[in-house]
Structure 1
Amino acid sequence: MASPAPLIHHRSPKFLAVSSSYCHQNTANNSCSSSCSSLPCRSCSSSSPAENRRRRFNSDFISFSGIKKIWKHQALKAHDMDTAQGNLMSPKRIPGFKNEPDHLLVLVHGIMASPSDWTYVESELKRRLGQRFLLYASSSNSYTKTFTGIDGAGKRLADEVLQIVRKTESLKKISFLTHSLGGLFARFAVAMLYSPNNAVDNAVETCTSSDTTSKTILFPMGGSIAGLEPVNFITLATPHLGVRGRKQLPFLLGVPFLEKIAAPLAPIFVGRTGSQLFLTDGKPEKPPLLLRMASDCEDGKFISALGAFKCRIIYANVSFDHMVGWRTSSIRRETELVKPPQRSLDGYKHVVDVEYCPPVSSEGPHFPPEAAKAKEAAQNAPNVQNTLEYHDIMEEEMIRGLQQLGWKKVDVSFHSAFWPFFAHNNIHVKNEWFHNAGAGVVAHVADSINQQEKQLDPPTYIAASL
């Protein structure tokens, strides 16, 4: 018996329309109704009225039930295929699925900058990360607002992030990508936005040390930032240890006289931010802000907030950065600076080394009496000797505080770039035409974020029946 499909395939629409029509029997005179008059009906030519009725009934039944069923079968099949293709191709057709971003990535610029500094990075990240990320370039601390202090700028950034979170109900996770001074703004802001998670008491990061006499600290992890799950905290050429000391501000060329006079002159040019970067802010007996930001104190849970992030990455220029030195941007001591490889990592031009530094046991930073005396001397009568003494004490204490957390440290070298002296702006491609040497760094950042996202959300597969 032939399948009904060829019947539909070969017959014309006109024939189907006529065949599916009833050939009504006129009960009065046993003749066909006018609906059959345009096309001869074989059942009408029967010699016997009874035979005609039987044939007409069979023809009508086959025409009506068979053709209708074939059409219905084909229509349902087409509908099922369309629905299945829609499920595979368009997530919007899946019941309960919302094509809205759930991960907020905040971009924070540096000193005397603006959101436009992120134009290239934003376009690249959108292309590489996809629609699940909401990219937001902060605008609350543009240009001279960066002079009002790290704490002031950090509070404004925190308020700005809260506004974005309240406007976007689909958000579940949050990350930060910062450049230069913006990294310090973000560190202050996340402490303001931090809420501990009391339900997670057993999640800890263990600090280990080869020194058996030192106290091992179990640093509590967990908590939220602005009510969201913290994922990545990434800084690019950020002066985590300030800019005081030997070649921490490279354009001073390490000249002792210039470094001595830079501290008292900084507040004149860059306001309160300058004194905080040179660690001379506040009264002599009070620890400088950057030292307090390396601990949990009455000003904020700075280390707890950073510890809540699943991943912390710091990118540092090993040379040719005229604004931020290698030590301060990579949170390393002078003795820990080892000459990096000259060859770039595969696929990431100018990214020369990646190292994970696990947390180190520590009792946290301190501000001993000798540090207070050195700070007073550096404020009132700066000279080469007390400047170096104060710097050495503060640097060691800040490193001790920040090393309570694990960091992934990425070294960047633009020694082979056409304009290597633009390293500070190259590292985040401030301008696509002049600073495009940093494209490999941006690619490395994007892939690092994607890798972390895959670890948090394993891929899900949608099954559709055809």
Structure 2
Amino acid sequence: MGSPAPVIHYSLPILSLHSSTFSSNSNFISNYTKTQNNINNSCTNSCSSSLYCSCSSTSSVDNQRRNNSDFIGFSGIKKIWKHQSFRAHAMSTAQGNVASPKGIYTLKDEPDHLLVLVHGILASPSDWTYVEAELKRRLGRNFLIYASSCNSYTKTFSGIDGAGKRLADEVIKVVRRTETLKKISFLSHSLGGLFARYAIAMLYTPNNSIDHHYDFAASADEIPNALYSPNKGLIAGLEPINFITLATPHLGVRGKKQLPFLLGVPFLEKIAAPLAPIFVGQTGSQLFLTDGKPNKPRLLLRMASDCEDGKFVSALAAFRCRVLYANVSYDHMVGWRTSSIRRETELVKPPQRSLDGYKHVVDVEYCPPVSSEGPHFPPEAAKAKEAAQNAPSMQNTLEYHEIMEEEMVRGLQQLGWKKVDVSFHSAFWPFFAHNNIHVKNEWFHNAGAGVVAHVADSINQQEKQPESATYIAASL
């Protein structure tokens, strides 16, 4: 009988050169929390004419970059530790297990790509039961699929910003306890897409702000590959790959047929805005564009820019691919226009026939970035917002919504998007489109199985193809 494969052990001196970086590990969660407090407390007097402005005091974004850099540095050290284990394993003359500080594990079983699933309003991680099982089957062991649980049920009422910060904290904890991660992707349904957009801005760090963490004596092959990515930044210290949303109201729900169950009736759309905060709290105000003071841009407009609250557009631009799945009809919660980030004039009648192998997926369009100065909040927008809040009428509401929607579209179309149109017109229960699109329940919403298969294959394609062939650029 042959001798067992050798087990290679580590000794503490291997990391002696990096002790200064490990000091950030013990405090990085507290530093991250302080960063969020700085963001909340700074720049209360935002510019009224433009979203691209700076504060006279120390910028909270600078603080965020500096504190996030501590986390990035620690994340890089973890990758270097992992790289050392691979080198030690390669030096072994036989296949076997490798010893780590956490015990014995098999390298091939360790995931390197974190896929975060984010549910929508009044939902929970159980909504992803079918999707999670299907993705695990199709994507394999390289993926760590994690269904977020920090914003379950009524926690989704506390506002997009509050839920986004909780999601960012949750992602950091997952990254901390999984040393082998190198990449990160997000798959979000409905309101969860807005939570994810806010969270990635909190987790974003530009590449050029972390170089100083790697000035110790280390060879080039010991530095994590993510640092050499041509992408424009990292998310939670990882290389961002896919940002995918399913029926997400990126432009809010105010306006003609943006909230389809109101049937486009002007009276219902008029009274929905003041009633929304009563039923769904701060989240309702933000979705109907009534949050904040009249002279301050509302949250969704700020999230279409890089501003004092966060680098929202830069964080999205860091992802290799951004994909929007939108229901063209029968979605009672989110309209086609807002979920696909299109103007009314950009909506054309979709094909009736599904793509081969993907039932109910009817069209895929690649939209290149459109050069723009980004969204603004001009004085007329402030006047329109005040009129819509204090003396709501159909004319005031329409004027305000048209200004805001155009500014949001201009901001988000600075990025390249892959837009996938979905139509359940031939499904047995077409009016369940909002839940069908992510198969909330395997028995009642199984019409969306083709959409889930399309999502899985798109993620697999990104994983296999070189970055230069798949990167959807941003124009900033």
TM norm. shorter chain > 0.5: yes
Distance of 1:418 and 1:93 partners within structure 2: 52
Find the aligned partners of 2:132 and 2:109 in 1 and give their Cα distance. Answer: 20
Aligned to 1:380: 390
2:130 corresponds, among 120, 128, 132, to 120
2:146 aligns with one of 136, 140, 152: 136
Are residue 396 (structure 1) and residue 406 (structure 2) matched?
Answer: yes
Equivalent position of 1:179 in the other structure: 189
Q: Report if the CA contact (8 A) 1:102-1:172 is conserved.
A: yes
Secondary structure (helix, strand or coil) at the match of 1:198 reads helix
Alignment RMSD:
2.1
Corresponding residue of 1:245: 255
* Residue 365 (structure 1) aligned to one of 375, 380, 398: 375
The offset of 1:380, in angstroms, is: 1.0
Mapping 1:8-407, distance limit 5 Å: 93=96, 97-198=107-208, 221-407=231-417
Residues 261 and 382 of structure 1 are in contact (CA less than 8 Å); yes or no, is this contact kept in structure 2?
A: no
Residue 377 (structure 1) shift: 0.9
For residues 429 and 278 of structure 1, the distance between their equivalents in structure 2, rounded to whole angstroms, comes to 27
Counterparts of 1:277 and 1:150, CA distance in 2: 9
Shift of 1:381: 1.3
Distance 1:290 1:270 in 2: 17
TM-score normalised over the length of structure 1: 0.74
- In structure 1, C-alpha distance between the alignment counterparts of 2:390 and 2:95, rounded to whole Å: 65
SS at match of 2:179: coil
Deviation at 1:221, TM superposition (A): 4.7
Q: Structure 2: where are the runs of 5+ without partners?
A: 6-89, 99-105, 212-229, 469-476
Output the CA distance in 2 between the equivalents of 1:411 and 1:417: 15
How far apart in 2 are the matches of 1:402 and 1:221? 18
Alpha-carbon distance, 1:269 to partner? 0.4
Matched residues in 1 for 2:467 and 2:408: separation? Answer: 35
Structure 1 CA distance, aligned partners of 2:95 and 2:122?
42
The separation in 1 between residues aligned to 2:210 and 2:164, in whole angstroms, is 27
Q: What is the identity, as a one-letter code, of the residue corresponding to 2:461?
A: Q
Structure number with larger C-alpha Rg: 1
Shift in alpha-carbon separation, 1:164–1:261, aligned structure 2, 3 A: same
Residue 455 of structure 1 corresponds to which residue in structure 2?
465
Aligned position for 2:214 = none
Q: Secondary structure at the match of 1:382?
A: coil
Deviation at 1:417, TM superposition (A): 0.1
Higher relative contact order (CA 8 A, sep 6+): 2
Matched, 1:445 2:445: no
- SS class of match (2:373): coil
Distance 2:127 2:426 in 1: 23
The count of aligned residue pairs is: 354
C-alpha contact 1:286 1:372 (8 A) present in aligned 2: yes
TM-score (norm 2): 0.72
Supply the distance in 2 between the matched residues of 1:287 and 1:306 (Cα, whole angstroms): 20
Question: Using a 3 Å threshold, how does the CA distance of structure 1 residues 92 and 111 change in structure 2: closer, same or farther?
Answer: farther
Aligned partner (choices 427, 431, 440) of residue 430 of structure 1:
440
CA distance in structure 1 between the aligned counterparts of 2:372 and 2:239, rounded to whole angstroms:
27
One-letter amino acid of the structure 1 residue matched with residue 276 of structure 2: A
Per the TM alignment, residue 296 of structure 1 is displaced from its structure 2 partner at its CA by: 0.1
Q: Secondary structure at the match of 2:418?
A: strand
For the 8 Å contact 2:231–2:320, the answer to whether it is kept is no
CA contact (8 A) 2:240 2:319 kept: yes
Identify if the C-alpha distance between structure 1 residues 277 and 114 changes in structure 2 by more than 3 Å, giving closer, same or farther. Answer: same
Contact 2:320-2:467 at 8 Å conserved across structures? no
Can you list the C-alpha shifts for 1:20-46, whole angstroms capped at 9, x where unaligned?
Answer: xxxxxxxxxxxxxxxxxxxxxxxxxxx
Distance 1:264 1:352, change over 3 A: same
Per the alignment, in what secondary structure is the counterpart of residue 375 of structure 1? helix
SS in structure 2 opposite 1:174?
strand
Output the CA distance in 1 between the equivalents of 2:209 and 2:273.
45
Query: How far is the alpha carbon of 1:99 from its aligned partner?
Result: 2.0
